[in-house]
Amino acid sequence: MSPINPHNVLRHEVIGLRVRIAKALNRQLAGLTGKVVDETRNTLTLFNGTKRRIVPKDSAIFHFYLPTGEIVGIDGKRLVGRSEDRVRMQVRRW
């Protein structure tokens, strides 16, 4: 598989990436930053250095910080599903 970049981020594992919640239905979650330490079908678990926060995927817009320094905004609805299934799926470009 090719290295992670803005065009293929949905087909890669997001665990280990830094992330910021740009928008969320729950206003308390908006602006949270941290490292993705776990992923389930419907949630991401972020660790900010002191505590873990579980964030629902389908109600937030995430800004992922790639190792190259680029920032990619992704609607969490596109992340819903098991990570192993998402890695194998074909991603439609909008």
Q: What is the pLDDT of residues 30-53, one digit of tens each?
A: 999 999 999 999 999 999 999 999
Q: Where are the domains of the chain?
A: 9-88
CA distance 40 to 68: 25
Beta-carbon count within 10 A of 63 CB: 15
How much of the chain exceeds pLDDT 90, in percent? 68
Q: Please report the sign of the dihedral spanned by the C-alpha atoms of residue 38, residue 92, residue 85, residue 69.
A: negative
Q: Please determine, for residue 58, whether its predicted confidence score (pLDDT) is greater than 70.
A: yes
- Rounded to 5°, the CA angle 30-33-35 comes to 135
Q: Are 60 and 67 within 8 A, CB to CB?
A: no
Q: Look over the chain and give the mean of its residue pLDDT values, rounded to a whole number.
A: 89
d(CA 82, CA 85): 5
pLDDT tens-place string over residues 67-79: 999 999 999 999 9
The sheet carrying 60-65 orders its strands as 52-56, 43-47, 33-39, 18-24, 60-65, 71-75
Say what percent of the chain tops pLDDT 70: 90
CATH fold group of domain 9-88: SH3 type barrels. (2.30.30)
